[in-house]
Structure formats: structure tokens, C-alpha cells
Amino acid sequence: MAGSNPNAKPMNLTLKVWRQKNRNSEGKIVDYQVKDISPDMSFLEMLDVLNEDLLHRGEEPVAFDHDCREGICGSCNLFINGRAHGPEKGTTTCQLHMRKFSDGDTITIEPWRANSFPVNKDLSVDRSAFDRIIQAGGYISINTGGTPDANEIPIPKEISDRAFEAATCIGCGACVAACKNASAMLFVSAKVSQLALLPQGHVERKSRVENMVAQMDKEGFGACTNIGSCAAECPVGISLENIAILNREFLAAKATSNNLS
């Protein structure tokens, strides 16, 4: 079957792939050749081809995280030719297609590099630090039931839209991988802004930002030095403005804190 571009020619590529047996072992780059790669393939489908080939040769396939393959679950996380999610702007690894590469290219594929994201195996990393940051305060403390009618509190569309933009973070970790300090500020600020913008989040806005920032520091993420690589490489376009909002929220909380701990 031909794809949308029947004239596109298959490609042969050299892959330089990070292989690491487990968290405690050392890793290294290993070279592989892949042949007859269709430009209509997704990047992960190209890796599927490599893995089926390895399996047939009795070698262990390359472990990598992926799931929805439509850019929303945030599982996929490859560092391709030195860039988080590869060369195409605003794109997760799974939505990157091989038409962005050329026949004969050499492609280097590494896992996210950050102390707070230890490698599980090969290209799969442990991002549970993100979950622990959300557990520190990335929610509104209400129980199921007993909530007011959804239309009881009108929210200006502009505010709601901005909260939505911040809420679209997929938790992939590209911001950390792209940052020279391995800072998680963009991730944390996206959740802080979303909930600070909405009236429902106001009640806990002070303790939330303090607790989430404290957890971020505890996880060992680096400090933010306002370079902006995070936003530049974010596949869903989370804005740097969120970091400004976080800083403002954090200062206001510290200045007037009712968080006694």
C-alpha cells in the first residue's frame, strides 16, 4: 500500500542508539543500520522495524516508552540528534515522521538526561518524580459529590482559555531534558498557573505553590535560569508565561503565607 506520497523513496539510515541494561549498569551508544524506511512512517514505527529485526536476529530489542502514538499520553520521550523529541517543533516523538529525515542520515537516539529521571533500561526513564510533585499539591482538595452546579461560578472565557492552555501539559519531561539545569519549572508552573487562574483553585493557591516547589527541589531538579529552552522544545507549546506566574504566586505566598509548616 502506498501512502499519501506515493513518490517518496524509501531511506536507509544509521542509528546510534543508547543501550543500557538497567538502572545500575553503564550504558553505551550502539550503531545499527535500518533499511527501506518509508518517509510516511512515524519515528517509532521506524524503531519498531529495528526491533523486529533485532528480535529475528536473537538480540534484545531496544526498550523505549510509548503508548498512545497520537501525541497526548506523554509516554514517548526520545532525545533525537541532541533535541528533545527531535527536529520538528511542537511535536512529540510519536508524531515525528520520517519524512523529516533524508536517505543516508545518521540519527542519534538517547534517553532524557536528568538525575531526577533515572534510566530504567535503554531509552526508558523513570519520571515518577513528576507524579510526586503533583501529589504535593497539584489538585483542588474536594471530595466526590457535594459540588455546586457547574454553572454557578462563571469564569471569563479569556481566563478559562489560559487555564486550559496551561492544563494541556502532557507530562513528558521534554522541558527537563531540554534544560541545561534539568529544571522542572515549566512542568510545575503549568499546573500552578492552571489552578491559580481558576476561581476553584484560589482557596489553596498559597500552600499549593509552596508545596509543589518544595517537592520539585527535593526531587533534585535544577534551578530555573530563564533560558527558555523548555518552552522552545515543549511539544504542546506550554508558555514561559507560566513560569512568570509561578514566580509571582510563589513570592506572594512566601510574603503572606498562611501555610504554617
Partner 1 sequence: MFPDSKIPEGPIGEKWDKHKFDVKLVNPANKRKYDIIIVGTGLAGASAAASLAELGYNVKAFSFHDSPRRAHSIAAQGGINAAKNYQNDGDSVFRLFYDTVKGGDYRSREANVYRLAQVSVNIIDQCVAQGVPFAREYGGLLANRSFGGAQVSRTFYARGQTGQQLLLGAYSALSRQIAYGKVKMYTRSEMLDLVVVDGKARGIVTRNLITGDIETHAAHAVILATGGYGNVFYLSTNAKYCNVTAAWRAHKKGAFFANPCFTQIHPTCIPVSGDYQSKLTLMSESLRNDGRVWVPKEKSVAERLRKGEIRVADIKEADRDYFLERKYPAFGNLVPRDVASRNAKLMCDEGRGVGSTGLAVYLDFADSIKRNGADWVAAKYGNLFEMYEKITGENPYELPMRIYPAVHYTMGGLWVDYNLQTTVPGLYAAGECNFSDHGANRLGASALMQGLADGYFVIPYTIGDYLAKTPPTPVTTQDPAFAEAEAGVRARIDQLMSINGTRTPTEFHKALGHIMWEYCGMARSAEGLRHAKAEIQKLKREFWSDLKVVGVNADLNQTLESAGRVADFIELGELMVDDALDRNESCGGHFREEYQTPEGEALRNDDDYAYVAAWEYQGENQPEKLNKEELQFENVKLTQRSYK
Contact call for residue 258 and partner 1 (CB under 8 A): no
Choose which of 29, 59, 106, 226 interacts with partner 1 (CB under 8 A): 59
Output 106 or 164, the one with its CB closest to partner 1: 164
Residue 159: its H or E element: helix 157-167
Q: 40, 47, 48, 50: which is closest to 99 by C-alpha?
A: 40
Site for partner 1 in 143-202 (CB under 8 A): 143-145, 147-151, 153-157, 160-161, 163-164, 167-168, 170-171, 194-195, 198, 200-201
d(CA 184, CA 218): 12
Instruction: Point out which residues pair with 128 in neighbouring strands.
Output: none
Give Cα separations from 93 to 3, 48, 65, 238 (angstroms): 20, 13, 10, 17
Output 75 or 183, the one with its CB closest to partner 1: 75
Contact between residue 64 and residue 88 where contact means Cβ atoms under 8 Å apart: no
Apex 152 CA angle, 148 and 153, nearest 5: 110
Contact call for residue 30 and partner 1 (CB under 8 A): no
Q: In the complex, what is the shortest distance from the CB of residue 227 to partner 1, in angstroms, rounded to a whole number?
A: 26
Q: In the complex, what is the shortest distance from the CB of residue 123 to partner 1, in angstroms, rounded to a whole number?
A: 11
Choose which of 34, 105, 126, 252 interacts with partner 1 (CB under 8 A): 126
Contact call for residue 261 and partner 1 (CB under 8 A): no
Contact call for residue 114 and partner 1 (CB under 8 A): no
First-residue to last-residue Cα distance in the chain: 63
Contact call for residue 203 and partner 1 (CB under 8 A): no
Region of 106-114, 133-141, 174-182, 223-231 interacting with partner 1 (CB under 8 A): 133-141
Site for partner 1 in 72-111 (CB under 8 A): 72-75, 88, 90-91, 95-97, 99
Site for partner 1 in 34-53 (CB under 8 A): 38, 40-42, 44-45, 48-49, 52
Apex 95 CA angle, 106 and 80, nearest 5: 30
Contact call for residue 249 and partner 1 (CB under 8 A): no
Contact call for residue 24 and partner 1 (CB under 8 A): no
3-class DSSP assignment, residue 46 = helix
* Max CA distance (Å), the chain: 66
